[in-house]
Chains A and B, each alone.
Chain A
Amino acid sequence: MAEKVLMKGNEAVAEAAIMAGCRCFFGYPITPQNEIPEYMSRRMPEVGGVFLQAESEVAGSNMVYGAACAGARVMTTSSSPGISLMQEAISYMAGAELPCVVVNIVRGGPGLGGIQGAQSDYFQATKGGGHGDYRLLVLGPSTVQELVDLTMEGFDLADLYRNPVMVLGDAILGQMMEPVEMRERPKRDLPPKTWATMGAAGRQKNIITSLYLDPAKLEKHNLHLAEKYGRMAAEQVRYSAYMTEDADVVLVAYGTTARIARAALDRARERELKVGLFRPISLWPFPYDALAAATTGAAHVLVVEMSLGQMVEDVRLSLGETKPVHFYGRTGGMTPSPREILDEIVKIVERGA
């Protein structure tokens, strides 16, 4: 077991990427994720990698496209407004099937918004922020350790599926310090990057593109992508369920909000209220079936988010009309407190009884 070190979430993401073999980082500064490029600017030269501060997020994300074409393990990171600027390149990379990791340390929006933590980029991340029929694998960590583990995993998954992977954090996770074990991962057997453009000596040329002017060919390409997304959806569902077995009310929350919800759950249990917590870890693919299974015995579901209600739509897709799905959210960089969530639980229980 590696020794535990105390690290900020942002620094931990950067080191995790290095440990996962990432040797190219392109980005542009934006609060609240500036510790990532700062760390990379120091660390990349030490490991023989490339750190480049681009002139904009648009440029940085297209540098990611280029490095991914050449078969590099590459990452960019930003926060909400910066991620919006990257959507064109993300769509192109999805179309050209280029593996990369994009980390969004989400802040309040819309527009320039604010700099405190939020979860209001869920739609953008999971429903396609750019154009076209495409999907990203979206992972939502809730501790610094999980941020590290999922970032490392993200590089493998990107290579496995030839697809961009997004790690959806938030400003709280990025700014907080927590002990973390920087453990080496077992090496996964990944397909060789025979498609990469690394010099064509002795073989046929590779072409990486997202341009298909013949609609029949483009449809075929989309169907190929859809088949891949189907595999991703079948193979990469991740979630955790806590005390859901006997729960009357199941909380559903991801990321930092899941931790706050857990604090509310502890207080509710002290009052002998039967409350559980379901935490999606993969936000795409969303754990529709697992959520339905974990809430079979529950009378109510309460979704808590740092937004005015985005993931709640997936919860409703999962549960349909089987039971009431309630929602509580704070937004704009405000965070729900355990007490506020507990008040909502009590309201639901009293109304239900």
Chain B
Amino acid sequence: MHEEVVFAGFGGQGVLLMGQLVTYAGMMEGRNVTWMPSYGPEMRGGTANCGVVVSKEEIASPLVSEPTSVVAMNRPSLEKFQGMVRQGGLIIYNSSLVDVEPARNDVRVLAVPANEIANELGDVRVANMVALGAFLGATGVVSVDTVLQALKKVLPERRHGLIPLNQKALARGMELAAALKAG
């Protein structure tokens, strides 16, 4: 088991947090993990991404150059990263904001209307958790229960009231991945 994932979107969508949760959960499940953010002259609305490696083996390079999965929360991210995904890998994209189809036919593709679902749940800010749920459902890299435990550690205590909403968002994403798997 060796997964290299890129989470990408625009600043403010919570892509760094998505990566951190998978990394944290991976560590809690006894895997080796690394998390590497893009950083630089970036701001809200600019692009942001992080590369996460979760592995049974000791992790050599923490830099993800040929991801097994990409989760793209907006169109520039899909366009930037889709070409890097390994054959047979996975592309999850936020179809609420991305109005093109991925240009790959040698990978699994999951369209997730993350913003729409998040809006249904009452808060567009959990779009990242919908996409993360879909990612967990499609790959099983870590379990959703561990991600929820990780969320408790990553979120400051005054924000713990938001955990049930995040849990719902994760569950909706999982359902979507399951439905697409079955279909």
Contact = CB atoms under 8 A, between A and B. Distances in A.
The interface size bin for chain B is 20 to 34
A263 to B, nearest CB: 4
A206 interface: no
B34 A178 contact: yes
Given A4-B27, A32-B39, A178 B33 contact: yes
A308 B60 CA distance: 22
**Residue with the highest number of chain B CB atoms closer than 10 Å, among A176, A256, A259, A337:** A176
A295 interface: no
B40 A176 contact: no
B33 A179 contact: yes
A143 to B, nearest CB: 9
B85 to A, nearest CB: 15
A343 to B, nearest CB: 13
B141 interface: no
A266 B35 CA distance: 21
B62 A259 contact: yes
Contacts of A116: 40
B20 to A, nearest CB: 7
B34 A266 contact: no
A59 interface: no
A260 B62 CA distance: 8
A157 to B, nearest CB: 27
Contact of B20 (A31, A177, A265): A177
Contact of A6 (B27, B36, B40, B63): B27
Contact of A266 (B40, B60, B63, B66): B60
Interface string A334-348: 010111000000000
Given A32-B39, A115-B40, A262-B60, A177 B65 contact: no
**Residue with the highest number of chain A CB atoms closer than 10 Å, among B23, B40, B63:** B63
A322 to B, nearest CB: 28
A176 B183 CA distance: 38
Nearest to A338: B61
B143 to A, nearest CB: 17
Contacts of A259: 59-62
Interface string B25-65: 00100001111110111000000000000000001111101
A275 interface: no
A339 B84 CA distance: 13
15 contacts: A6-B23, A6-B27, A115-B40, A115-B41, A172-B36, A172-B63, A175-B39, A176-B34, A177-B23, A177-B35, A259-B62, A260-B63, A262-B61, A337-B65, A339-B66
